[in-house]
Amino acid sequence: MTVEDYEFIEFRELSNKLNGFYDLERYRQKEEWNRINYITYSMLLNNPYVKKSDKPKTFEKYLNRGSKQENQNQIKSQSELDSWIG
């Protein structure tokens, strides 16, 4: 944008440009995080010092590695809440 564009820009236009910029940054960070996860996953598979039982079967299972435990904790906390309420 030029200096004249900044002088005559409306607030709505500016907020749309800022939202677009932040969305792009979030996308870049997410892609970088996925790249790091994939590199870590490939290092785990090729490392001879990691036990076979500790190695994930697929990349998707590696990415979702804590979700079952978190879901079980949520279920337990919900049942505890129900028991307190009666």
Tell which wins on pLDDT, 38 or 5.
38
- Write down the residue that tokens 């677009």 correspond to: 20
Q: Identify the pLDDT of residue 71.
A: 55
Q: Quick one: average pLDDT of 19-31?
A: 93
Residues 74 and 56 sit within 8 Å (Cβ to Cβ): no
Q: Identify the pLDDT of residue 58.
A: 75
The rounded distance, in Å, linking the Cα atoms of 60 and 77 is 27
Nearest one of 70, 68, 60, 58 to 34, comparing CA atoms: 60
Is residue 73 pLDDT above 60, yes or no? Answer: no
pLDDT classification of 27: cutoffs 50, 70, 90? very high
Is residue 29 pLDDT above 90, yes or no? Answer: yes
